[in-house]
Amino acid sequence: MYAILDIETTGGKYNEEGITEIAIYRFDGHQIVDQFSSLVNPERKIQPFVVNLTGINNEMLRNAPKFYEIAKRIIEITEDCILVAHNAQFDSRILTTEFDRLGYTFEKDTLCTVELAQKLIPDMPSYSLGKLVRALGIPISDRHRAQGDAKATLELFKLLLAKDTQKEIITKSVRKDPKRQLEPKLLEMIEQAPSETGVYYMHKKDGSVIYIGKSKNIKKRLTQHFTSDNRKSKKIQLEVVSVSYELTGSELIALLKESEEIKQNKPIYNRALRRTLYQYQLGSFVDDSGYINLKIEKANRNKEAITTFTNYPQAKSVLFKVTEKYQLCQKLTGLHAAKGSCFSYSIKECLGACIEEESPEAYNEKVREFLNDNSYESKHMLIIDKGRDLDERSVVLIENGQYKGFGFFNLNFQINNPEVLKSIITPMQDNRDAQHIIQGYLRKNKVLKIVPLPKATPI
């Protein structure tokens, strides 16, 4: 399956560009099975030369969705796909950078139609998209607009597929991690691994654990470990003699187990996760006018946080979303530095707290609604999600705002009974990393349900 795409950007410094338009065609090698296109508000200025080239200006993008609003759709339409683009390195880099700003790892194999055309149709006077497709008799409209260029790239790719009768060039052109002849022991470990969600443990000859990881597909993740040529992977490949695993069904529990067990076991090749998982946090303070302000700040274990973030771009993206959802003021959430009104006020999305048109009482009520929805302080709840098989569910227990542990239960049991909970919950350490994992997971993923619990005697 292929995802043929084209991206238009703001231009500017390397890795500081923003997407202004994107178009993607999901192509099964024979026909288009899905498609998506959208203008995108890049939240930054477009370079004048780009405006002249594409015709896309800042005014056109004022009400366009921001990247985080279309990110899920991009993930869905590119699932299990090879990315195909004209100059794929550029499009892939831009897309990866945007997802990095959201704290999400977006990794895809790529095919470049420039490189394929140079191999399959040599001696063309130019391999720029416009000149190449015209020379090949492929119609192109809306040049330098994402949908027009993506459609032309799709037609060019169809032609290249037809010309590659031996299927050798396309196979060799797919940008995958370098594959080497795997040792029999590594192949055996891959074959024995399940294609399910869980935590896996790599052991060396004396049985000690040298690496702990989690994955939604353990077999696929082991394949990546054992075919990678990076320095750490090569060392692991030499030392590992066996892999054990524990299925969790729920990715949330896999994340919590991985974090806890890395801290306990301190495997030699898990250096990164021994440190804290989050670098930024969201705090609050009341200003001189009585308004509750929100503020992104450096992580501080000695200071109370509303929620935590892996990096600053993720924090900023989430706070933009929160500001919009709860109709807060960009000035009072630290997103827009201004002496007067904020940007949201000018487009009627802020009710004027920035210039004291909205009363502190009314504004603070909305902030408290957000705090109640997102802070764990004094919360009692169960997070119910998938189990290890169809008749089972997983449960994470939060009590008095603290993470108590997780467990699994059969659908025939009523787990809101405290005695039943005592028996099924595996106690775990409550720490800021665990709360970061839970809060981050609930922000980005849907669970089966969240069950509020009445305040009661601690379990």
DSSP state of 348: T
Query: Does residue 106 form part of some domain?
Result: yes
Query: Does residue 107 form part of some domain?
Result: yes
- State the residue range of the domain holding 194: 184-274
- The answer to whether the CB of 300 falls within 8 A of the CB of 432 is no
Distance between CA atoms of residues 342 and 358, nearest Å: 13
pLDDT digits (tens, 9 = 90+) for 81-124: 889 999 898 898 889 888 888 888 888 888 899 988 888 888 88
If asked whether residues 165 and 245 sit together in one domain, one would say: no
First-to-final CA distance of the chain: 50
- The answer to whether the CB of 400 falls within 8 A of the CB of 380 is yes
Query: Does residue 458 form part of some domain?
Result: no
pTM, to two decimals: 0.52
If asked whether residues 156 and 189 sit together in one domain, one would say: no
- In order, the DSSP letters of 31-99 are SEEEEEEEE-B-SSPPPHHHHHHH---TGGGTTSPBHHHHHHHHHHHTTT-EEEETTHHHHHHHHHHHH
User: 305 pLDDT exceeds 90?
Assistant: no
The reported pLDDT for the residue numbered 344 is: 86
pLDDT digits (tens, 9 = 90+) for 45-74: 888 888 888 888 888 888 899 999 999 999
Distance between CA atoms of residues 415 and 409, nearest Å: 8
pLDDT digits (tens, 9 = 90+) for 238-267: 999 999 998 999 999 999 999 888 888 889
Query: Does residue 457 form part of some domain?
Result: no
User: 398 pLDDT exceeds 60?
Assistant: yes
Distance between CA atoms of residues 239 and 400, nearest Å: 44
pLDDT digits (tens, 9 = 90+) for 262-273: 888 889 998 755
Tell me the CATH number at 193.
3.40.1440.10
151's CB contacts (< 8 A; 6+ apart) are 23, 25, 140, 141
If asked whether residues 20 and 106 sit together in one domain, one would say: yes
Question: Which tokens belong to 277?
Answer: 């998982």
Binned at pLDDT 50, 70 and 90, residue 155 comes out as confident
36's CB contacts (< 8 A; 6+ apart) are 22, 23, 24, 70, 73, 74, 77
What share of the chain in percent tops pLDDT 70?
Answer: 90
If asked whether residues 12 and 144 sit together in one domain, one would say: yes
If asked whether residues 389 and 290 sit together in one domain, one would say: no
- The answer to whether the CB of 458 falls within 8 A of the CB of 400 is yes
If asked whether residues 216 and 342 sit together in one domain, one would say: no
Query: Does residue 394 form part of some domain?
Result: yes
If asked whether residues 114 and 225 sit together in one domain, one would say: no
3-state DSSP assignment of residue 134: helix
If asked whether residues 295 and 417 sit together in one domain, one would say: no
If asked whether residues 284 and 314 sit together in one domain, one would say: yes
Q: Which of 88-92, 413-417, 436-440 has the lowest mean pLDDT?
A: 413-417
If asked whether residues 79 and 228 sit together in one domain, one would say: no
Looking up tokens 């007067």 gives 340
pLDDT digits (tens, 9 = 90+) for 347-370: 888 999 999 999 999 999 999 998
H-run or E-run covering 11: none
Query: Does residue 178 form part of some domain?
Result: no
- The answer to whether the CB of 56 falls within 8 A of the CB of 8 is yes
Last residue of a domain, one of 310, 339, 374: 374
CA atoms within 13 A of residue 10's CA, in its CB half-sphere: 19
The reported pLDDT for the residue numbered 376 is: 64
From 278, 313, 311, select the one nearest 67 (Cα to Cα): 313
- The answer to whether the CB of 262 falls within 8 A of the CB of 270 is yes
Domain count, the chain: 4
Query: Does residue 295 form part of some domain?
Result: yes
Last residue of a domain, one of 147, 173, 199: 173
Query: Does residue 448 form part of some domain?
Result: yes
If asked whether residues 14 and 162 sit together in one domain, one would say: yes
Distance between CA atoms of residues 331 and 315, nearest Å: 16
Tell me the CATH number at 13.
3.30.420.10
Last residue of a domain, one of 233, 256, 274: 274
Binned at pLDDT 50, 70 and 90, residue 276 comes out as low
User: 290 pLDDT exceeds 90?
Assistant: yes
pLDDT digits (tens, 9 = 90+) for 119-139: 888 888 888 998 888 888 787
pLDDT digits (tens, 9 = 90+) for 2-55: 999 999 999 888 777 889 999 999 988 778 899 999 999 988 888 888 888 888
Mean pLDDT within 134-157: 86
Q: Which amino acid is at 107?
A: E
Q: What angle do CA 90, 137, 94 make, to 5 degrees?
A: 10
If asked whether residues 134 and 30 sit together in one domain, one would say: yes
DSSP state of 178: P
User: 180 pLDDT exceeds 70?
Assistant: no
DSSP state of 353: G
